[in-house]
Structure 1
Amino acid sequence: MSAPAETAAPELSLPEGLLSRIPTPAYVYDLAEVRRNHRALSDALPAGSGVYYSLKANAHPSLLRVLREQGASPEVCSSGELEAALGAGWPAADVLYTGPGKRDEEIGRALRAGVRHFSVDSPHAMEQLDRIAGSLGVRAQCLLRINDDQPVPGQGLAMTGVASQFGADTRWVLREPARFAGRPHAELIGLHLYMGTNLTEPDALLGQFERSLRTAKILRTALAEHGADLRVLDLGGGFGAPFASAGERIDLSGLRPRLTALLDEELPARHDDGTRVVFESGRYLVGTAGVLLTSVLDVKQSHGKDVVVLESGINHLGGMPGLRRLPPLNPRLVADPADGAAPRPAVLDALVTGPLCTPLDTWSRAAKLPDLRPGDVLAVPNVGAYGLSASLVAFLGHPLPAEAVVDGDDPDRAPELTRIHLTRTPVTADTAPTLGEK
């Protein structure tokens, strides 16, 4: 092998004997960490705030059940996520159904299930909801999602201030407020303002919330003249978390007093007029709760470069183009205390790849790793959010990882194992859904 490289990341220790009880590759989720993350976020928000969990981050049923028990509500943007939320025990009345485009049949399915709260992005979306709710004889309530006129500095991924499928531009609403003031079967009850994602500094979070509140104040006044009583403000979230690299949850301990003071300044009458302020989070709640374990399949040299081939590649992690600025994924050797082996020094400066038959299946071109052998297990930490379900799971048809759930609050509990199987069910003219199916 090559000459010693810089020091590798320290080995990752797992609960004793865990590796002998689960297969690889596997995502392992710790429910205790989910509870800690929810508690940390709740403690960082003003008293009385609501918290929605964005199922897009990870819809594993065990994680959903814990978040429901902790008091979070579900934010979904598809029929599949709605099914997962209801399966985890949330009442349909607790669901917020979002998304920039919805088909008639999925709105109808949600309304028939009892969902009554939707985020809408345009007059057409409001009219669509009104039409379908009216045809079912029910009344829905909606939040108007806003795309503010300027982006907020420090955003991880811009969600506003740029041309976007998300929301109605502030200037558009102010120019034609009557078009956004609600419908007979789709009552406008609030605003949905989501400025950006993956913000890691309290100052950046506070800045986006301040901007959202000031925009909300202007819009509430304009829409009130057309009969809209906006009593719900969804300020989004953007609470960041480390992804696929070492690190702890973001420290939000100083956010509550500053955010409370901001709400007192911008919404001084909120306790008297019944205004409800809610936030959303996905990655902060579950990101640090997950680790991907994957075994080494081959170790070799090619053109003077150490090459490590793993069971997992972009089909299991890191294949979603929407993540954009995805850093190199540098896995760490796993140490099982039951083995009693001494730590291995770093000797590889390796190209780390998955097993897929494409040169695009690369995690890192310069990972600092110990001297590895086929069968060694590596780990990628902090992948509880946007991991398996955000990857190229169908590409080339390799088996998917298992998912194992452990509970650090109950170390004697055996891991709960599940495995996703991709199947293709033939669709015939008799079974295909039709537009507007009821």
Structure 2
Amino acid sequence: MARILISQQEIQAASEEYGTPLYLYNLNKISRQYSKLRDYLPPNFNILYTLKANSNLTICHRLAQLGCGADISSTGELKAALKTGFSAPQIVFTGPGKTNSELAAAIEAGIGIIVLESINEARRLNNLAQKYGKKQDVLIRINPLYRTNQSCEIREKASSCGANDTNSVQPSLTIQTIASSSSKFGVDENKAIEEIAAINSLENLNLKGIHIFTESNVLDYQQLLASWTNTISIANKINDQGYHISLLDFGGGIGIPYNTVDPEFDMESFGKELQRIFENNPYSYHCIVEIGRYLVGEAGCYITEVVDIKESLGQKFIILDGGVHQLLRLSMKPASKYMEVLGKNGNYTQKATLGGKLPTPLDIMVEDVMVPEDIEIGDRLVIYNCGAYGFNHSLTNFALHNYPAEVAYSDGEMELIREPGKIEDFFLNQKLPFATNLEKELITSI
């Protein structure tokens, strides 16, 4: 069942050694996923790792060693990328709301590309680049007029972004007009030429190309191909109008299954069709992909222990020592059905709700999941495909429960890569007028 490629026995051993709740990552799986991308994407592509998916330093270091660049969205992620071995010229800074201090840090570090979200951001960056005596390479993010009807922002309005709603892949989709496709990201396609002209007038910016990212966790490669083909078409139109661009950032979108039914993304077919498109395109482009989920999602699992079993109005609840403070999936709750109870290989015939230990009704990890009839207190559950958007997306400070440990598996060996949290961690940087050593006083009083 587990695409993580670690046996139940090894997962059980890790949970016994390091306790629960626990994140466990297979670094070998990460290497395999990177190899598939490198083998099948056309040679004009560079692969960037998206740190927002999982910024654990060991995982980042592995991907830097493999040859990835980095996609960052904050000064914290910039420092993590540099610390773990990503070279500054291979770092791209994306995302809205960049402050002047963040832009200045990026310029000082010498990162390769900054993706602009507006003409106002462009002017601020130009002033900073002038101050530092540099000419900064940039892309402009475009909010396309056309997108598939399963694109991320459209699906997000229906609370299903990044998750598959059924057990089967959506049929091949063509680009469709979406009239209400307003977005906080980038500039609208119908204003792109105007914005590009304005950016070209700024002396300390060098506009290299465009960034378009609308799809999330796509399993049907033809859907993603339709979206990326649209991006190429937009770039061609910009070149047709005399604005020379040579770099395309497609964002991400390559998905992973969150169950045992859906097939994997057909990377080989996707790569072959992309290659045909570029071979027949009137303009040559260098390309970037920002990949997080595909690289690390299937490599990780979350292990948690049953601490109580109860019923309410005929509904069975399994209460866990974990919860949404450590694995918050919001619109991806059904993904947590991809789970097993360690050591219980019988029929999963009993329907239950998995709830965490937080004092809020919001702490429901998944509803209507099938569990074994003989599940009992002390059993350990493993939820698969938590390597991306797990630890990083959680409500870690809710109720001040300790952070989970993180463990890496590589070539049969386990290694602790993040210590489990301590109670005193929550009081770092807080001030209490009458306490000279707040952390020590709080801990010794317990």
1:238 corresponds to which of 253, 259, 263: 253
CA distance in structure 2 between the partners assigned to 1:150 and 1:195 by the alignment: 10
- Indicate the percent of aligned positions where both proteins have the same amino acid: 28
SS in structure 1 at match of 2:24: strand
104, 111, 114: which one aligns with 1:115: 111
Match in the other structure for 1:18? 14
Q: CA contact under 8 A between 2:408 and 2:414: conserved in structure 1?
A: no
Distance in 2 (CA, whole Å) between partners of 1:427 and 1:249 is: 50
CA contact (8 A) 1:37 1:249 kept: no
Greater helix content: 2
Cα distance change of structure 1 residues 404 and 257 upon mapping to structure 2, 3 Å threshold = same
Q: Is the 8 A contact 2:333 2:365 kept in 1?
A: no
8 Å contact 2:25–2:408 — kept in the other structure? yes
The letter of the residue matching 1:382 is N
- Structure 2 counterpart of 1:376: 379
Contact kept, 8 Å, 2:218 with 2:255, in 1: the verdict is yes
Contact 2:209 2:247 in 1 (8 A): yes
SS at match of 1:196: coil
- What are the ranges of 5 or more consecutive residues in structure 1 without an aligned counterpart? 1-10, 337-341, 429-438
Please tell me the residue identity of whatever aligns with 1:306: K
**1:49 touches 1:276 (CA, 8 Å); kept in 2?**
yes
Contact 2:119 2:195 in 1 (8 A): no
SS of structure 2 residue aligned to 1:191: strand
What is the identity, as a one-letter code, of the residue corresponding to 1:280?
E
Q: Find the counterpart in structure 1 of residue 352 from structure 2.
A: 350
- AA partner of residue 91 (structure 1): S
Whether the 8 Å CA contact 1:107–1:129 is kept in 2: the answer is yes
Q: In the alignment, does 2:280 pair up with 1:265?
A: yes
From 154, 168, 174, the equivalent of 2:187 is: 168
Deviations 1:305-362 (A, max 9, x none): 322100111111125x5xx3542633634436xxxxx734445321210001111211
In the TM superposition, 1:305-316 aligns within 5 A as 305-316=315-326
1:191 equivalenced with 2:190 (yes/no): no
Aligned to 1:332: 339
Greater Cα shift, 73-82 or 398-407: 398-407
Indicate whether 1:367 and 2:382 are aligned. Answer: no
Distance 1:99 1:50 in 2: 19
Deviates more, 1:130-139 or 1:175-184: 175-184
Q: Which amino acid aligns with 1:242?
A: P
Q: Confirm whether residue 180 of structure 1 aligns to residue 180 of structure 2.
A: no
Contact 1:243 1:287 in 2 (8 A): no
Could you say which residue in structure 2 is the equivalent of 1:6? none
2:412 maps to 411
- Residues 1:240 and 1:349: Cα distance change in structure 2 (over 3 Å): same
Matched, 1:212 2:231: yes
**Does residue 393 in structure 1 map to residue 396 in structure 2?**
yes
Q: Does the CA-based 8 Å contact 1:332-1:378 persist in structure 2?
A: yes
Aligned position for 1:92: 88
Deviation at 1:416, TM superposition (A): 3.9
1:425 paired residue number: 429
| Alignment partners' CA distance in 1, 2:364 and 2:414 | 36
1:153–1:183 Cα change, 3 Å:
same
1:282-293 equivalences under 5 Å are 282-293=292-303
> Cα–Cα, structure 1 residues 56 and 422, in superposed 2: closer, same or farther, change >3 Å?
farther
Q: Distance in 2 between matches of 1:326 and 1:405?
A: 25
Q: Secondary structure of 1:125's partner?
A: helix
Q: Mean alpha-carbon deviation: is it higher for 64-73 or for 411-420? A: 411-420
Do the aligned partners of 1:249 and 1:284 also contact (CA within 8 Å) in 2? no
1:66 maps to what in 2?
A: 62
Q: How many residues are treated as equivalent by the alignment?
A: 399
Alpha-carbon distance between aligned partners in 2 of 1:85 and 1:416, rounded to the nearest angstrom? 16
Indicate the residue corresponding to 1:3 in structure 2: none
Aligned to 1:28, what secondary structure does the other structure show? strand
> Structure 2 length normalisation: TM-score?
0.83
**Aligned residue for 2:309?**
299
Deviations 1:14-42 (A, max 9, x none): 42733332211001011001011111122
RMSD: 2.5
Deviations 1:202-223 (A, max 9, x none): 1011101111100111122335
Letter of the 2:204 counterpart = H
Whose RCO is larger (CA < 8 A, sep 6+)?
A: 1
Partner of 1:431: none
279, 283, 305: which is aligned to 2:289? Answer: 279
Partner deviation per Cα, 1:115-163 (whole Å, 9 max, x = no partner) = 2410001111111111111112222110111111122233244499611
Q: Which amino acid aligns with 1:425?
A: N
- Is the contact made by 1:141 and 1:189 (CA closer than 8 Å) also made in structure 2? yes
Matched letter for residue 310 of structure 1: L
Partner residue of 1:140? 136
| Aligned CA distance change for structure 1 residues 219 and 396 (closer, same or farther; 3 Å) | same
CA gap 1:170/1:32 in 2 versus in 1, 3 angstroms: same
Amino acid at match of 1:327: P
Deviation of 1:364 (Å): 2.6
Q: What's the TM-score once normalised by structure 1's chain length?
A: 0.84
Amino acid at match of 2:251: G
Deviations 1:145-195 (A, max 9, x none): 111112223324449961111111111123464213252111111111223
Secondary structure of 2:85's aligned partner: coil
Q: Deviations over 1:9-68 (max 9, x none)?
A: xx9724273333221100101100101111112222112311111111111111111111
SS at match of 1:385: coil
* CA 91–423 in structure 1, closer or farther in 2 if over 3 Å, else same: farther
| Deviating more after overlay: 397-406 vs 358-367 | 358-367
Alignment partners' CA distance in 1, 2:109 and 2:431: 24
Q: Which runs of 5+ in 2 are unaligned?
A: 1-5, 157-176, 433-446
TM-superposed deviation, 1:106: 1.1
Q: Assess if the C-alpha contact under 8 Å between 1:244 and 1:382 holds in 2.
A: no
Comparing 391-400 with 416-425, greater Cα deviation is found at 416-425
Q: Following the alignment from structure 2 to structure 1, what is the Cα–Cα distance between the partners of residues 263 and 381?
A: 19
